[in-house]
Amino acid sequence: MPDFPTLAKLAEDLESGRTTSRKLVEACLDKIADPAGEGQRAFIHVDKAAALAAADAMDGLRKVNAAPSRYAGIPISIKDLFDIKGQTTRAGSRALDDSDPAEHDATTVARLRQAGFVVIGRTNMTEFAYSGIGINPHYGTPKGAWNRAQGHVPGGSSSGAAVSVLDGMAHGALGTDTGGSCRIPAAYNGIVGYKPTQRRVPLDGAVPLSFSLDSIGPLARSVSCCAILDAVLANEPIVALKPRPVKGMRLAVPTTIALDDLDAEVAETFERALKSLADHGAVIERIEMAEFHDIGPMNAKGGFAASESYAWHRYLIAAKGDVYDPRVSVRIMRGEAQSAADYIDLLNERRSLIARVNARIAPYDALVLPTTANTPPKIADLADDKAFTTENLRALRNCTLINMIDGCAISLPAHREGDVPVGLMLAGSGGSDRRIFELAAGMEAVIRV
């Protein structure tokens, strides 16, 4: 990954006068506009005039010591799932083309603006956020970090969000995560992606996929960058992140499901990262998680994503189903066959699952597992629907485990420079967000040696 600065470094440069918001925004706009780059596929809409005006405003406020935060003036991207006042929210689809412009910013967008971040534009995504691969037939598919000449998927559904950060088109990104949509593209592109405890960040103003599972989180270049953005999104004070020493960390590796059918590069990179953690004094225990076996049957009829997305889409898909991505509409329509009893069973089974898993992992600081079972597939290899379905499920599987237990999780790059990107996921029960950030900050540099 190119050596772009962290949010902390950008804040220092702004405070010292080494740069200005205007310069940062212009540099990002130049990268988006570069015909040799991925900007035309990573972004659905670019807020050039508004971003430059906001940059000038932040520079003016900084000159009179009135900047709303240290990070005021830093450009970020917004996933096309979020309302931005005056713009149409399309959710990566053509079915919402004629929707009225939003009257208000989504709560999370408003919070980022209040901290002074500059919205650079709306990023591409899997239509209606319903895939972990990142392919979009309407707006094109941005190529991921790995072997761009051949064209590998960027991961989804926050595909453009990850590529915008990877390529310096933004210095942080707002994404969502229902079954891995922040963590998968982070893993595939060698950056950091965070899925918070769902209840910490309001969903208002974001097109839903599954209101039971949807979480709103950041993608950025480091653990500390994600922690800063997460605090803003959760409306919490931005507190300096204190990394925990690796020595003495109590980490559990779930051997049930999470280590099945791994690509060789994923297995090798994951085991090397575990060895490095152990060499630095982490206590690592491999444990069975029998509870994970319950998740497959719970999702056999499409689970929460199918039932809850169908409830939202049923009228729109009846009117405009012909313009939907068929790979998305077929998954939404699975919800039509679920009964009220099926859904109530799901609610009860999930409550039991959460309680049992929380009890199982209570003795440990965190779970550690590969973010995805696969490395980024080639875009061309997924033209076949069967191949797409197989790789999509492999991308989503491990991340979905954490959404189903109402947990929080972060994906860290674990591969060595020049190797195919592989993510290591650190996860905990709901409410353990700060601990996960501290643990991740402590192990961030250690796992790539």
Q: What is the pLDDT of residue 269?
A: 98
**Residues in a beta bridge with 253:** 286
Residue 106 has pLDDT above 90, yes or no: yes
Task: Indicate the residue type of 125.
Answer: M
Distance of alpha carbon 382 from alpha carbon 389, whole angstroms: 9
Closest CA to 425 of 392, 447, 393: 447
Distance CA 370, CA 386 (A): 23
Cα separation of 265 and 391, whole Å? 15
Spatial contact of 94 and 136, defined as CB atoms under 8 Å apart: no
Q: Hey, what are 342's tokens?
A: 């099926």
User: Please, which residues have CB within 8 angstroms of residue 57's CB and are 6 or more apart in sequence?
Assistant: none
Question: Which of 131, 159, 181, 329 is flagged as catalytic?
Answer: 181
Residues 379-406: pLDDT tens digits? 999 999 999 999 999 999 999 999 999 9
pTM across the whole model: 0.98
- Is the pLDDT reported for residue 55 higher than 70? yes
With bands split at pLDDT 50, 70 and 90, how would you rate the model's confidence at 14? very high
- For the residues 353-360, what does the mean pLDDT come to? 98
Query: Is pLDDT at 1 greater than 90 in this prediction?
Result: no
How much is the pLDDT for 3? Answer: 81
Instruction: Please tell me the distance from the alpha carbon of residue 236 to that of residue 239, in angstroms, as a whole number.
Output: 9
224 in active site: no
Q: Is 329 a catalytic residue?
A: no
Characterize 198-222 residue by residue with b for buried, 16 or more Cβ atoms within 10 angstroms of its Cβ, and e for exposed: bebbebebbbbbbebbbbbbbbbbb
C-alpha–C-alpha distance, residues 127 and 329, integer Å: 10
Degrees to nearest 5, angle at CA 211 with 182 and 130: 50
Q: Is the pLDDT of residue 105 over 60?
A: yes
d(CA 350, CA 367): 19
Which pLDDT score is estimated for 147?
Answer: 97
Q: In this structure, what DSSP letter does residue 377 have?
A: P
The helix/strand/coil state of 32 is: helix
Identified catalytic residue from 79, 158, 309, 432: 79
Q: Are 204 and 106 in contact (CB under 8 A)?
A: yes
Percent of the chain predicted with pLDDT > 90? 99
Q: What is the pLDDT of residue 2?
A: 60
Q: Please give the Cα distance from 168 to 30 (Å, whole number).
A: 10
Looking at the chain, the whole-number percentage of residues with pLDDT higher than 70 is: 100
Strands 192-195 and 283-287, bridge-based pairing: unpaired
Q: Look at residue 80 and tell me whether its pLDDT is greater than 70.
A: yes
Query: pLDDT, tens digit, for every residue of 113-134?
Result: 999 999 999 999 999 999 999 9
| 411 counts as catalytic | no
User: What whole-number distance in Å separates Cα of residue 104 and Cα of residue 280?
Assistant: 49
449: pLDDT confidence band, cut at 50, 70 and 90?
Answer: confident
The yes-or-no verdict on residue 407 having pLDDT over 80 is yes
Phi-psi region of 334 (alpha: psi -120 to 50; beta: other; left: phi over 0): alpha
Q: How far apart are CA 127 and CA 172, in angstroms?
A: 21
Torsion of CA 141, 146, 152, 155, to 10 degrees: -60
**Overall size of the chain counted in residues:** 449
Checking if the pLDDT of 233 tops 80, the result is: yes
Confidence of residue 29 (pLDDT cuts 50, 70, 90): very high
Count of CA atoms in the C-beta half-sphere (13 A) of 66: 6
Q: Tell me the pLDDT tens digit for each residue of 175-192.
A: 999 999 999 999 999 999
Question: Under DSSP, is residue 48 helix (H, G, I), strand (E, B) or coil?
Answer: helix
Handedness of CA 308, 313, 317, 323 (dihedral sign): negative
Q: Is the dihedral of CA 187, 221, 54, 21 positive or negative?
A: negative
Q: What are phi and psi of 382, to 5 degrees?
A: -105, 15
Q: Of the residues 21, 77, 157, 222, which is catalytic?
A: 157
Q: Is pLDDT at 246 greater than 90 in this prediction?
A: yes
State the chain's mean pLDDT as an integer: 98
Asked if the bond preceding 429 is cis, omega within 30° of 0, the reply is: no
